[in-house]
Amino acid sequence: MSSSVERALRILVELASGPATISDLGRRLDVHRTTSLRLLRTLEEERFVRRMEDGRYRIGPRMTSLAQVALEGLDVRAAAAGHLRELGTACGHTVHLAAREGRAMVYLDKVESSHAVRMYSRIGAPAPLHATGVGKAVLAAMPQDERDGLLGEPPYDRCTPNTRTTREELAADLAEVADRGWALDDFEHEEFIHCVAAPIRDAAGTVTAAVSVSAPNMVLDRPQLLDLVRPLQRTAAAISEELGWSPDVSGSGAH
């Protein structure tokens, strides 16, 4: 990369954190003031930066529009693919990516377990919001009225003896999910399968998808499953970052 292009990109990165003067940029980038001025004028001509009345420079309208186009073109499945594979390789268990579509979660991608005993699931198949880890990870981030509208009137469908079928049971569970930042499917969807799930946020901080690690209880016990929460959360955060999310910008926290 040429030095001019590199410096121009560094200027844009610096201005992304807020307006700055020519002198400010020169000090931060360790370049002469005349070099900063030359690059800023070129960027201003192309509308990547704009000079304010007080002499400082800020990000310009062309940069903003390009960022918007880039974010709109992001595909959660494409953004997540590499991270799902890394998590699956590291833990050896089934990894799912799912997103909410209407009143259900739909599996978008899957990394198979390396164990002989596996769970059955199919990409494109729907799953209930209230009885899955991925569903609860999404529900926990919703306002109560939106959540109630999606779930309808209780009792909710019972998938196993452990399924939360009352509004009170599910609300208490979701409050814990929101507080700790991850969800547990405690054999609520399938009797012998448990999982942990973490929410995925888009650039606006909205949770519409989640990633999970699932395993039969004969392969992975509860303590071993909970040991996977940290790497799972790191994976969810990495995917969210690919989608343009930043806790510093969104202010929504890491949950």
Q: Any idea which of 27-31, 68-72, 136-140 has the lowest mean pLDDT?
A: 68-72
Task: Dig out the tokens for 57 from the structure.
Answer: 């420079």
Q: 3-class DSSP state for residue 213?
A: strand
Question: Residue 73 — pLDDT band, cuts 50, 70, 90?
Answer: very low
Nearest-angstrom CA–CA distance, 104 and 139: 11
Nearest-angstrom CA–CA distance, 14 and 27: 11
Does position 104 have pLDDT exceeding 50, yes or no? Answer: yes
Nearest-angstrom CA–CA distance, 12 and 107: 37
86 and 68 in one domain? Answer: no
124 and 58 in one domain? Answer: no
Question: Residue 255 — pLDDT band, cuts 50, 70, 90?
Answer: very low
pLDDT in tens, 45-60: 988 999 999 999 999 8
- Its domain, for residue 37, covers 3-72
Q: What's the pLDDT at 118?
A: 59
Task: Report residue 128: phi and psi, to 5°.
Answer: -70, 140
Question: Residue 116 — pLDDT band, cuts 50, 70, 90?
Answer: low
DSSP 8-class letter at 157:
P
Q: What's the pLDDT at 115?
A: 76
Could you tell me if 156 and 169 are in contact, meaning their C-beta atoms sit under 8 angstroms apart? no
94 and 22 in one domain? Answer: no
pLDDT (average), residues 187-212: 95
Q: What's the pLDDT at 208?
A: 86
Could you tell me if 101 and 135 are in contact, meaning their C-beta atoms sit under 8 angstroms apart? no
80 and 68 in one domain? Answer: no
Pairing of strands 193-201, 104-111: unpaired
Q: What is the tally of structural domains in the chain?
A: 2
pLDDT in tens, 84-100: 999 999 999 999 999 99
Does position 71 have pLDDT exceeding 80, yes or no? Answer: no
Could you tell me if 96 and 215 are in contact, meaning their C-beta atoms sit under 8 angstroms apart? no
Q: What's the pLDDT at 216?
A: 94
- Using the structure block, give the residue that is written with the tokens 């609300």: 171
156 and 82 in one domain? Answer: yes
Residue after which a domain boundary falls, among 54, 72, 90: 72
136 and 114 in one domain? Answer: yes
Question: Residue 203 — pLDDT band, cuts 50, 70, 90?
Answer: confident
pTM for the model: 0.72
Could you tell me if 14 and 29 are in contact, meaning their C-beta atoms sit under 8 angstroms apart? yes
The answer for residues whose C-beta is within 8 angstroms of residue 154's C-beta and 6 or more apart is 165, 166, 167, 170
